[in-house]
Structure formats: C-alpha cells, structure tokens
Amino acid sequence: MHVDEAIQTRKSVRRFLPTPVDRAMVEHILAVASRAPSGSNIQPWNVHVVAGAAKDRLCQRLLDAVDHGRSDTPEYHYYPQNWFEPYLERRRRCGFGLYETLGIGRGDKAEREAQARRNFHLFDAPVGLFITMDRRLEAGSFMDCGMFIQSVMLAARGQGLHTCPQAAFAWYHTLIRDELKLDENALLLCGIALGHEDPDAPENHFITQREPVSGFASFYG
C-alpha cells in the first residue's frame, strides 16, 4: 500500500470482526513503527500487547469499573480545561456526526453511554496495544510517542488492518497498571484497538472532516 493511501484510509474503527491477528503480524507492525523519529533517538515508547484470555480479563475488569462508576483522574490533560473555537465546534461536529450515524439522538443518554462503554472492550478488536512512557521524561517525549502511535496505525493499514486510538483508558490507569504489572513510572498514554474492520457496521462508515490546507498552513517566500 502506498503511504498516501495508508494515511488517507486510516480511520478510527469502532467495530471489529473476530478474525484473529497473530503475534507475528503484531511484531511486524511494531518493528516497522519503531522507525518513528524521536529526539536524540531516545525512543520513549513502550507497548503492552493484550490478546486472548489476557485481553478478556483486562476488559472485564475495565467494564466492571465503568459499570460501578470507578475511575481515576487522568495523569495528564488530553483536552483543554476550557474549550474555545474553532476546536469546540470541531469536537461537537465529530461527536454529533458519530451518534447520528449510529441513530443515537442527542438526548438519548443511555445509548450514548452504551456506545462509550464499548471503548472498554476495545470495540471487539482481537488485539489491544497500551502505550506508555516513563513519567520522568518531558513534553518532547509526548510528541515522539505521538509519531510512534501514528506509525503503528499506518503500518497496520499497510497490512490491511485497522485501528482505533483510545485516550479513554487514561481514566483507568490504576486498574491497567495493576493488571499489566506496570512499573510505577509507566505513564499510560492511550490504548489502540487493532484488528479487521467490520465493513457492515454503520459507525465504520463515519468519516471525519479535515480542514483544507489553506485553513491551517501559511506559506512564506
């Protein structure tokens, strides 16, 4: 797959087929993604791969925590504390568009919560990747990890697979740290669902909009 096609067809898939993804494929994707750049080549990312019984056990613990209202305060702020434009409108457009595609009304709290709950069994994906970095590193390592995460998703597309990056797991870092026996310095950044897209799922036909180049780029000279 040409890199342009991989980038243009990457999307957040929210329903996967049960088709397994073998360990050799996951290792290949991670090996390709490991070529992502990082400051002074420190490669700050760590990946914790769950599948099979390990994935089922973690997901069950997460779902129990969600259902009983037990969550953490995230260890970093993903979103601004006070939204402002144009970012607020873009966020609303994304959320409203997804729920409209699913036929969930804006006032249907129960269905919206049920859809959000699906995050915690990785949207049925057979493989989950949890990305951490050492909390003693600085903001530049967040950028490095972001480039690595994008590389993982593009390498997956190159193999005909799809992904969904999920920041929702940051609200359950204590549980995940315990289940995966992570070091206390491991800062959980996100999870990534990995697998084969369910092409019949309506949510997988929702494609988010992008600003034109003229809307975000300035040219000099």
SS3 for 107-176, per residue? CCHHHHHHHHHHHHHHHHCCEEEEEEEECCCCHHHHHHHHHHHHHHHHHHHHCCCEEEEEHHHHHHHHHH
Q: Tell me the C-alpha distance between 27 and 170, whole Å.
A: 24
Read off the pLDDT of each residue in 139-150 and give the average, rounded to a whole number: 98
Average pLDDT over the chain reads 97
| Cβ(159)–Cβ(28) below 8 Å | yes
**3-state secondary structure at position 16:** strand
Q: Tokens at residue 53, please?
A: 């019984």
Q: 148-207: per-residue pLDDT in tens?
A: 999 999 999 999 999 999 999 999 999 999 999 999 999 999 999 999 999 999 999 999
Q: Which pTM was predicted?
A: 0.95
Find the radius of gyration of the CA atoms of the chain.
Answer: 18
pLDDT of residue 109: 92
Q: Is the pLDDT of residue 106 over 90?
A: no
Q: Tell me the C-alpha distance between 189 and 210, whole Å.
A: 24
**3-state secondary structure at position 5:** helix
Q: Tokens at residue 125, please?
A: 């994906």
| Cβ(16)–Cβ(196) below 8 Å | yes
Classify domain 3-78+119-201 by CATH architecture: 3-Layer(aba) Sandwich (3.40)
Q: Tokens 């903001």 appear where? A: 139
If pLDDT is split at 50, 70 and 90, which confidence band does 147 have?
A: very high
pLDDT of residue 1: 85
For the chain, give me the number of helices (H) and strands (E)?
8, 4
Residue 78: DSSP 8-state:
S
Length of the chain (residues): 221
Say which amino acid occupies 220.
Y
Read off the pLDDT of each residue in 72-83 and give the average, rounded to a whole number: 94
Q: How far is CA 130 from the centre of its chain?
A: 9
Q: Cβ contacts of residue 84 below 8 Å, gap of 6+?
A: none
Q: Cβ contacts of residue 183 below 8 Å, gap of 6+?
A: none
Q: 14-41: per-residue pLDDT in tens?
A: 999 999 999 999 999 999 999 999 999 9
